[in-house]
Amino acid sequence: MPFIRGGELYKIFKSRKRFNEETVKFYAAQITLAIGYLHGKSIMHRDLKLENLLVDEKGFLKIIDYGLAKTLPPQALSKTFCGTPEYLAPEMVTHSGHDFSVDWWALGILMYEMLIGVTPFYNRERKLLLLKIKQSKVVFPDKNKYKIDYSDDFVDVVLRLLDKDRSKRLGSNGDAQEIMAHPFFASIDVNKLMNEQVEVPMKLNFTENANESGFNSKFFNSKSSAKDLCETVLPKANQDKLKKNANAFDQFAKTSRKI
């Protein structure tokens, strides 16, 4: 796999606290097109978050971590409870069955987070976080008080992506095309964006020697536990499968070295 030198978008986001609306639009459009491509192949990602978005040398995004991705037939529903708590859709929390629209919910969470600086239902207590996801409305902070500038189109697209009724959620009926048709993305030339022919709103500076500054440093610490490395929720049955496969790989590696 290629080395994506810019590292996680999360690290860039944390260093800048928040992005302006044009930068959010640039990133959101790429996420939409990429997820739309996956959906066209009947694949749900189910773990979209800043940590799973890498930035290449040109400033364009790459979506990673398909550990929770799943193929889903048309009109079918999945009832697996998985993902990262802050980005979970209401139907995931209630175990009522989810489809491709969980990715569009996550997109709405990401857009809000990138511009406002925090996820809309954030709470340190997981139970309260999940309760807010199910019941609370999305609230936008006072522009003047917090010195955050955002447009009416931004508010509208986020609210429509974060509709708790998945059947009414933006993207649930026309997928990526429906989302890109929203006025918020009117200034985006899709063809130029896909061919990386647009100007990147935020250019990164690289040192001559690559290091882990753009990545989660815990991944470079051999003493880190699995719990430290990932907050993604994964069913125990799936965890057992991963452990079993990991052991099998270790045995294969040992045998290969002997040969």
Residue 230: its pLDDT value, please?
42
**Cα 7 from Cα 214, distance rounded (Å):** 4
Residue 204: its pLDDT value, please?
81
The CATH number assigned to the domain with range 9-214 reads: 1.10.510.10
Q: Mean pLDDT in runs of 10 for the chain (259 residues)? A: 90 95 98 98 98 96 96 94 97 97 98 98 96 98 96 98 98 97 98 97 68 51 39 70 70 58
Domain boundaries defined on the chain: 9-214, 224-258
Residue 206: its pLDDT value, please?
67
Task: Enumerate the H helices of 17-119 as residue ranges.
Answer: 21-40, 90-93, 101-116
Task: Report the catalytic residues.
Answer: 47
152 and 160 Cβ atoms separated by less than 8 Å:
no
pTM, two decimals, is 0.83
**Cα 32 from Cα 167, distance rounded (Å):** 18
Residue 251: its pLDDT value, please?
67
Residue 248: its pLDDT value, please?
72
Written as one letter, the residue type at 218 is K
Residue 213: its pLDDT value, please?
54
The CA angle 42-43-49, to the nearest 5 degrees, is: 150
- Cβ-based burial of 140 (10 A; exposed 0-12, middle 13-18, buried ≥19): middle
